[in-house]
Structure 1
Amino acid sequence: MSQASLSPAAAPEASAGSSTSPTRAHLIATLKSWPVMVSLLVLVALVLIAICAPLLSSSDPTAINPAQRLKPITAEHWLGTDAFGRDVYTRILYGARVSLLVGLGVAAFSLVIGLFVGVMAGYFRWVDAIVMRVMDGLMAIPGILLAIALVSLSGSSLLTVLIAITVPEVPRVVRLVRGVILSVRNESYVEAAQTLGTPLPTLMMRHLVPNTIAPLIVQCTYIFASAILTEAILSFLGAGVPPETSSWGNIMAEGRAYFQLFPGLVLYPGVLLSLTVLSVNLLGDALRDSLDPRMAKRM
């Protein structure tokens, strides 16, 4: 009797153990490919730049010096100065902090909120009927317009921008988690755990939530890249972080009026923004190909 009762739960564990090694080997092989290695090096370099910004430049990114406005590249100003005489090199260094903070913050908030709501919607049918209609309504509104509206109502600040970008991203995480929960809640090992009287929090944390980890990791990379790009768009449109805050979007927004005179004001932060988004997307594609069993079988 005991062996028969344990067999439903033992079967998934055995199959999981047999598939762990090939999946891990495929993941390691994917991470060692040159596009992923270059992407990781770029992201590590950007993180180090953001952390060590005070060590890499002794200038104040907010210090205005009208006598030095729109100066070309010199030994004192490695990337020149902007229309207010601020050092562009220093502002780009500190702008990396804002972009990475927004990306990490939005990804973390979206993950926590979306995971909780998605698990509830996937497991409880009455919650699903209410929550998913709200999520459908949020997804029907273009994300950038919703973010602009929230920033306009709440004022321009870094926290407001984080919330404004997070709100449109949460429904995507909720739908992803809900789909995973719906596909596994009727599995034999979940039903066996319910029959044995496993408490609901334990059932969710041990049998349901672990199935969402792989797809959530991939989704978070795309949210990270999308959040950085959205923050730059909002700042470029004047609805992002305050103008005095050094961010890549603000630098490009202020430099567009002087593009013909000094194109570096737009090109320098634009190149870094493109490299960041491209690196994160390449890393997300590699993780998807490695962690998704269907993609692994095709390869």
Structure 2
Amino acid sequence: MIKRKLRRPVAFYTGMGLLLLLSLVALIGPWVIPYSPHQMFLLPVRAGEIIGPPELPSERHWLGTDAFGRDMLTLVLLGLRYTLLTVLLVAGLRILFGGMIGVLKGLSPQAGKRRLDGTLMRVTRLFPAFFIAFFLLFGINQMGSVEVLIIALVQLAVLVLIGIPQVVHIFEAYVTEWKGQSFVEASKLMGGSKWWIARKQLWPWLKDACALFMFQECILVLNLLGQLGVLGVFVGGMTRIENVFEREQAITRSFEWAGLLTQNKSFVISYPEIILIPVGLFLLLLFSLYLVSRGLERGYQREREEYPYV
């Protein structure tokens, strides 16, 4: 049996390093927050009027404060765990369940011949995941009396379910392509059973692609969270509170990053630092996932070129 020497591009290791660093921050973040997430800081009174918030980054508040005077570093550290866990869990469960269904359908003699499958794919293309997710999650998002964790779990289940059909289609097409390879036909002629061939030849051919599909799905989920956040649908739900100017505003209850970057958007002109910091962190997470995905894709292509029959 040929032993394949696995080689990954620098982009893969760079992305994994950033993801591990972010995971470490998400793990220790709740233990090192400088302030309570509900503590509001008001700037000194000048000429009889309260100046701010928000407050620009300073020695007291390294990332500044938001529109309610809450320390942004505290909110970012607390929100990372919800953001990262949601992305990884939704993508992982989509790959797990969608992958299993797709593989079974691909191994079926009727693979690619069912009219219902084609109809389902046309429907999913007609109604993108963003629209389906928004209409299903909008009502849940308003339930301020329900625990944040409960809302997050319900939202997670919805996000998983709406993404499974696309994953099923990808895996089914992948297995259908694999069935047409010459080495599979040779194994059949030599008397190999369908399940023996799947275990000995499909799984080695598929396992490397699963990691690639996983991180590509992570990117899609993170983009979806950002789109939902723009319309006020946050992981863990939302609540409305008044700022120091007695203006009511919707905010994220879990402090997840998509919510943080949208709830401060009204200050993009007057206090650009307040919006650029969460946007930059959100893009850093997205860039990390992209580097890993790109590295896996390049390594996978290189491996297929060197070992086309393994």
- Same topology, TM > 0.5: yes
Q: Which residue of 2 aligns with 1:76?
A: 60
| Distance change >3 Å, CA 278–CA 222, structure 1 → 2 | same
Q: Is the deviation greater in 103-112 or in 127-136?
A: 127-136
Q: Identify which of 66, 78, 90 aligns with 1:106.
A: 90
1:95 to 1:121, Cα distance in 2 relative to 1, 3 A: same
Stretches of structure 1 that go unaligned for 5 or more consecutive residues are 1-13
Larger helix proportion, structure 1 or 2?
1
Residue 166 of structure 2: which of 165, 168, 172 is its match? 172
Q: Identity of counterpart residues, as a percentage?
A: 20
Whether 1:228 and 2:222 are equivalent positions in the alignment is: yes
Q: Which amino acid aligns with 1:249?
A: A
Task: Give the equivalent residue in structure 2 for 1:284.
Answer: 293
Query: RMSD of the TM alignment (CA)?
Result: 2.7
* Greater Cα offset, 141-150 or 37-46: 37-46
Bigger fraction of residues in strand: 2
Instruction: Give the 3-state SS of the residue equivalent to 2:42 in structure 1.
Output: helix
What is aligned with 2:207? Answer: 213
Taking structure 2 as the reference length, the TM-score comes to 0.76
Structure 2 counterpart of 1:123, which letter? L
Partner of 1:96: 80
Deviation at 1:272, TM superposition (A): 1.1
SS of 1:67 mapped into structure 2: coil
Q: 1:2-53 CA distances to partner (integer Å, 9 max, x unpaired)? A: xxxxxxxxxxxx4xx16x13xx2xx24x2xx3x4443233222211111110
Deviation at 1:56, TM superposition (A): 2.8
Contact preservation (8 Å) 1:57, 1:90? yes
1:256 aligns with 2:253: no
Q: Please say if residues 225 and 277 of structure 1, whose CA atoms lie closer than 8 Å, have aligned partners that are also in contact.
A: yes
More divergent stretch after superposition (84-93 vs 240-249)? 240-249
| CA displacement 1:243-263 (0-9 Å, x = unmatched) | 222011111121111223322
Residue type at the aligned position of 2:273: G
Separation of aligned partners in 1, 2:199 and 2:117: 21
Distance 1:287 1:296, change over 3 A: farther
Change in 2 beyond 3 A, CA 1:189/1:217: farther
Question: Could you list the runs of 5+ residues in structure 2 that have no partner in the other structure?
Answer: 44-52, 143-150, 238-251
| Structure 2 SS opposite 1:250 | helix
Give the number of equivalent residue pairs: 269
Query: C-alpha distance in 2, partners of 1:228/1:121?
Result: 28
Q: 268, 282, 298: which is aligned to 1:273?
A: 282
Maintained 8 Å contact 2:141/2:234: no
1:134 and 2:140 aligned = no
State which drifts further: 256-265 or 286-295: 286-295
- CA 183–154 in structure 1, closer or farther in 2 if over 3 Å, else same: same
Match of 1:150 among 136, 142, 149: 136
Contact 2:56 2:274 in 1 (8 A): no
1: CA distance between counterparts of 2:34 and 2:117? 50
Structure 1 length normalisation: TM-score?
A: 0.78
Amino acid aligned to 1:44:
L
Tell me, in whole angstroms, the C-alpha distance in 2 between the residues paired with 1:190 and 1:146.
Answer: 43
Give the structure, 1 or 2, with the largest relative contact order (CA under 8 Å, sep 6 or more).
2
2:12/2:293 contact within 8 Å kept? no
SS, match of residue 119 in structure 1? helix
Query: Structure 1 294/147 Cα, relative in aligned 2: closer, same or farther at 3 Å?
Result: same
The Cα offsets for residues 235-291 of structure 1, whole Å up to 9 and x where unpaired, read as 221022222220111111211112233222211111111111112112211111111
Separation of aligned partners in 2, 1:287 and 1:168? 25
Structure 2: distance between partners of 1:214 and 1:231: 27
Q: Residues 107 and 223 of structure 1 are in contact (CA less than 8 Å); yes or no, is this contact kept in structure 2?
A: yes
Instruction: Describe the SS at the equivalent of 2:25.
Output: helix
Distance 1:115 1:132, change over 3 A: farther
Deviation, 1:213, is 1.6
> Distance between the aligned counterparts of 2:105 and 2:141, measured in 1?
32
